[in-house]
Chain A
Amino acid sequence: MSSTYDTIANIIAETCDIPRDTIKPESHAINDLGIDSLDFLDIAFAIDKAFGIKLPLEQWTQEVNDGKATTDQYFVLKNLAARIDELVAAKGT
């Protein structure tokens, strides 16, 4: 699994006091790990700092609310890692 995934899994474990070995690439941050929106702000802050990006949380939330995306696309950790990789790649262009 990518180092991006390992980084965010470690951030989640530290930020939310969740045992690292219970966090899987298939874990859904909200539905499986029980992370609420406030805790996710902490995670977003740590991810923003770690990767030098700005997770577009408001855009993602809007897309989910409008039915244009599912939460799985953004909050299943392997998918979140892929979104982060895209944001990092876009930053370099």
Chain B
Amino acid sequence: MRFEYFQLIDRIVEINLADRMISSEAIVPTESTIFEGHFPGYPLMPGVLLIEAMAQTSGWLVVAMNRFERMAFLAQVKDAKFRTFVTPGQTLAVKARVVHEGSGYAVTETSISIHGKPVCDATLTLRILDFPNQDVRNRMRETAARVGFPSEVSANG
């Protein structure tokens, strides 16, 4: 996880297209300027960044379901609950499942746990749009390779 590059996800553990599910891993850095403000002397990972981790994980699933032909953008956050604190150095297990795939959007139920203990969960809506241009698509492929996006679901193009 690199906050400064908004890289919340370190590794895609599994994408199951049949069940429309994904799991990813994200390791909270031990040091970050974010922790200097949130909070001074009491470092906690901000809840908004936990949402981003769930959104990025959901997004990779949607990209996979669209064979890397289209991109996902966070459009709505519903029922977000933060159940416990997340501290530097902890490893997050992020899961997401597409519960509805509409025309141009998808709805996911997503959650984060640490060693099986629930941390947070939410229902997210993502818009599904074409990549704005080929360069963006190529850059997203580079990011996909970094997080271990399975090559078999992005083989074409």
Residue contact A57 to B102, C-beta cutoff 8 Å: yes
Residue contact B76 to A38, C-beta cutoff 8 Å: yes
Residue contact A54 to B103, C-beta cutoff 8 Å: yes
B2 CB–A CB distance under 8 Å: no
**Range for the number of chain B residues in contact with chain A:** 10 to 19
In the complex formed, the residue of A with least CB distance to B105 is A41
Alpha-carbon distance A65/B89, docked complex (angstroms)? 50
A42 CB–B CB distance under 8 Å: yes
Enumerate chain A residues within 8 angstroms of B101, measured Cβ to Cβ. Answer: 54
A80 shortest CB reach to chain B, Å:
14
Alpha-carbon distance A45/B127, docked complex (angstroms)? 12
**Which residues in chain A, 54-68, are within 8 Å of chain B measured between CB atoms?**
54-59, 61
Enumerate chain A residues within 8 angstroms of B100, measured Cβ to Cβ. Answer: 45, 48-49
Enumerate chain B residues within 8 angstroms of A57, measured Cβ to Cβ. Answer: 102-105
B130 shortest CB reach to chain A, Å:
10
B107 CB–A CB distance under 8 Å: yes
A9 CB–B CB distance under 8 Å: no
Alpha-carbon distance A54/B105, docked complex (angstroms)? 11
B75 CB–A CB distance under 8 Å: yes
Residue contact A42 to B102, C-beta cutoff 8 Å: no
Residue contact A59 to B125, C-beta cutoff 8 Å: no
What 1/0 flags go to B74-99 for Cβ under 8 Å of A? 01100000000000000000000000
> 29 pairs across A/B with beta carbons < 8 Å?
A38-B75, A38-B76, A41-B75, A41-B76, A41-B102, A41-B125, A41-B127, A42-B76, A42-B125, A44-B102, A45-B100, A45-B102, A45-B105, A45-B107, A45-B125, A48-B100, A48-B102, A49-B100, A54-B101, A54-B102, A54-B103, A55-B103, A56-B103, A57-B103, A57-B104, A57-B105, A58-B104, A59-B103, A61-B104
In order of increasing CB-CB distance, the 5 nearest A-B pairs are A57-B103, A58-B104, A58-B103, A56-B103, A41-B105
